A and B are shown apart, each in its own frame.
Chain A
Amino acid sequence: MEQGTYEFEPHTSEVQVHVEGTDLGALFEEAGYALAEVMLGEEPPEPPPSMEEEDVTLDAADTEALLVDWLNELISRTDLRKRVYTHLTVDEIDERKLHARIRGFTPDVLKTAVKAATFHGVDIREHEDRFLATVVLDV
């Protein structure tokens, strides 16, 4: 079974993303890939193998806040380190905590600078065999 997917939904001024994953970890990874695609304007490529790996550890009030924190962590690291993160491995996750390893690369141009992930309408739910999430990115 495919681990996860994402698609962009209509929004007048921002970017709204709908994400699906077979489990919470896959859901969060897909949300990160969607963010990378917004930034790059195309599907994320594999990063060069030489790019160093970074650790991310987060804790939040609940799962929705954890998703917003996760995306905001990727956004602020992109701004700081001039990298788009295109290889994401969520090793541990529960309702409020996450540990992940991420790798990125420095593209020549960034198509869209993402300011932040928002709490507006953020929603995560389990449906049959999948986790579904919606989140709005401020661009």
Chain B
Amino acid sequence: MEPSAEVQPPVTPRLRQVGPALYELDRSFREDMLVPARIVADEELLRQMARDRSIAQLVNVTTLPGIQDFAIGMPDMHEGYGFPVGGVAGTLLPDGVISPGGIGFDINCGVRLLSTGLLHDDVKDLIPELAHDLARSVPTGFGRHGRLALGPAQVDRVLTEGVPYVVRELRMGLEEDLRHIESGGYLPGAEAAYVSVRARERGHDQLGTLGGGNHFIEVQRVDRILDAEAAADFGLFEGEVTVLIHTGSRGLGHQVCTDAVREMDRALSRAGIRLVDRQLACAPFSSPEGQAYYASMCAAANFAWSNRQVLTHRVREVFGRRLGAEVQPRIVYDVAHNIAKVETYGGRRLCVHRKGATRAFGPGNPELPEAWRKVGQPVFIPGSMGTSSFVLAGRSESQSVSFSSACHGAGRQMSRAAAKREVVGAELRKALNARGIVVECPSNAELAEEAPTAYKDVERVVDAVDTAGIARKVARLVPVAVLKG
């Protein structure tokens, strides 16, 4: 049985509309709430959220010590653990908490968009070969190591230096890449010494691997330009071939989170503190536990950006081999989904947790690459296989509406088991092929679990982001080849 509205607390009637596509559950809903819970959505998306436990999880987030203003759910929000997926919260530094459960096990899972400068019409006959070559170049199966196995000293340098090390020392990338990755591809707070031996062991051969679940590389065609000026600034044009890479920090990041949750849970137990949800285990940012986790989370984030950098290098190798060395897909931007960042709002330094959410800075933000400062940060909202993905540009209004955050995808609406019951993987593969979408995925069952019908309507989700004033639509992309782990 799927979770149903009947067995959930009746929260939706208590939600009050406080802005365009913006709803609020005030503090009177539960006595332990320190701030209101807000949700960016339309009424249909709210109804979908009410079918699982995501709103209750968002309310739990409002109890975090030091939380400021509100906890906010993005329009793709769905049930997770600890924070809901699509949850954002800022805590006041120095003593507000940092919670590994507010970031997730796949630290800096994120997406990177490459633009190729190629017209789909010119290369469409080569797409099956390109997809096949990508599948051969990117290890996805169990037990298949990355082609790049690092020694312990190299792992440490990836953890502390991130993408600049991969580009300058491992020679996988271009100097200009560094200007088109969130935070330049590394967080300076990283300290490898705080990453456990086991985490480092799990990571040493995983750079350049995709992983499973909803991770993918998708070759796409720019189907429609929705904001000509912004699209031109981003270097996107109608009919262009793009590549979207979605993956994270792999086993290394998972182990970093596992280690931190365990340590923080123990510390809370020793102090006799019981949280409303143990997965919200946390520590004051300034405490030894908080600082140790922040340093290791930054290191895992650097590992994830480096992973997407190595995958970018593989994509470039494949395109270069098939289409000529002059074809060098360019990074539009790379955004993190699961991360905590220190940011300033209204003069307050906050630890902003984004779990299944992307940053969406508006025009003029000094943290943006100079090239995108005029138009605002590129925001990517991947659909699911067979549905559109969107490029948006962050708006200045996002600062007050959502701690400069947008959603990270369409958001699941159906459990994996239900998707498998309702979708026959082999038929889905045929249907996608019939629409001209090349599928490289070893398992029909896994294909079924990630079927488009398992996700919310991405167009509706993107409309809610646009209506709420977080980000504006720039371009719509449609898949032509999908490589799944």
A complexed with B: yes
Chain A residues, CB < 8 A from B81: 14, 118-121, 136, 138
Residue A109 at the B interface, CB < 8 A?
A: yes
| Distance of A15 Cα from B104 Cα, bound (Å) | 15
Which of B207-232 touch A at CB < 8 Å? 211-213
Contact (Cβ within 8 A) A41 B278: no
Contact (Cβ within 8 A) B251 A120: no
| Distance of A120 Cα from B412 Cα, bound (Å) | 19
Contact with A along B243-286 (1 / 0, CB 8 A): 00000000100110110011001100110000001110100000
Interface SS of chain B: mixed
Which of A35-88 touch B at CB < 8 Å? 41, 61-62, 64-65, 68-69, 72, 75-76, 79-80, 82
Contact (Cβ within 8 A) A72 B278: no
| Distance of A61 Cα from B257 Cα, bound (Å) | 18
Contact (Cβ within 8 A) B258 A72: yes
Contact with A along B62-99 (1 / 0, CB 8 A): 00000000000000001111100100000000000000
Residue of B nearest to A119 (CB): B278
| Distance of A118 Cα from B418 Cα, bound (Å) | 22
Contact (Cβ within 8 A) B269 A111: no
Instruction: Give chain A nearest CB distance to B25 CB in angstroms.
Output: 19
Contact (Cβ within 8 A) B277 A10: no
Contact (Cβ within 8 A) A109 B79: no
Contact (Cβ within 8 A) B142 A109: yes
Chain B residues, CB < 8 A from A80: 198, 201-202, 251
Contact (Cβ within 8 A) B105 A115: yes
Contact (Cβ within 8 A) A10 B417: yes
Binds A, one of B179-187, B301-309, B344-352, B438-446: B438-446
Contact (Cβ within 8 A) A12 B198: no
Instruction: Give chain A nearest CB distance to B458 CB in angstroms.
Output: 16
Contact (Cβ within 8 A) A112 B212: yes
* Contact (A115, B106) CB under 8 Å given A10-B418, A121-B277, A136-B81: yes
Q: How many residues of A sit at the interface, in one of the four size bands?
A: 35 or more
Instruction: Give chain B nearest CB distance to A36 CB in angstroms.
Output: 13
Which of B212, B254, B257, B278 sits near A120, CB closer than 8 Å? Answer: B278
Instruction: Give chain B nearest CB distance to A102 CB in angstroms.
Output: 16
Residue B143 at the A interface, CB < 8 A?
A: yes
Contact with A along B438-477 (1 / 0, CB 8 A): 0000110110000000000000000000000000000000
Residue of B nearest to A106 (CB): B143
Which of A1-41 touch B at CB < 8 Å? 8, 10-15, 41
Residue B415 at the A interface, CB < 8 A?
A: yes
Contact (Cβ within 8 A) A76 B202: yes
Residue A93 at the B interface, CB < 8 A?
A: no
| Distance of A75 Cα from B52 Cα, bound (Å) | 27
Contact (Cβ within 8 A) B258 A120: no
Chain A residues, CB < 8 A from B82: 118-120
Contact (Cβ within 8 A) B3 A12: yes
Chain A residues, CB < 8 A from B54: 12
Residue B485 at the A interface, CB < 8 A?
A: yes
* Contact (A113, B485) CB under 8 Å given A12-B413, A12-B415, A41-B445: yes
Instruction: Give chain B nearest CB distance to A10 CB in angstroms.
Output: 5
The 10 closest A-B pairs by CB, nearest first: A120-B81, A110-B142, A119-B278, A120-B279, A113-B212, A82-B143, A79-B251, A115-B105, A12-B79, A118-B81
> Residues of A with Cβ closer than 8 Å to B?
8, 10-15, 41, 61-62, 64-65, 68-69, 72, 75-76, 79-80, 82, 106-113, 115-116, 118-122, 136, 138-139
Q: A61-B265, A61-B269, A69-B262 are in contact. List 8 more A-B contacts (CB 8 A).
A: A10-B3, A13-B78, A41-B443, A115-B254, A118-B279, A119-B261, A119-B277, A138-B106
Q: Can you spell out 22 A-B residue pairs with CB atoms less than 8 angstroms apart?
A: A11-B79, A12-B52, A12-B54, A12-B78, A12-B413, A12-B414, A13-B85, A13-B415, A13-B416, A41-B445, A61-B265, A64-B278, A68-B262, A76-B198, A80-B251, A82-B143, A113-B213, A118-B81, A118-B105, A119-B101, A120-B82, A120-B277
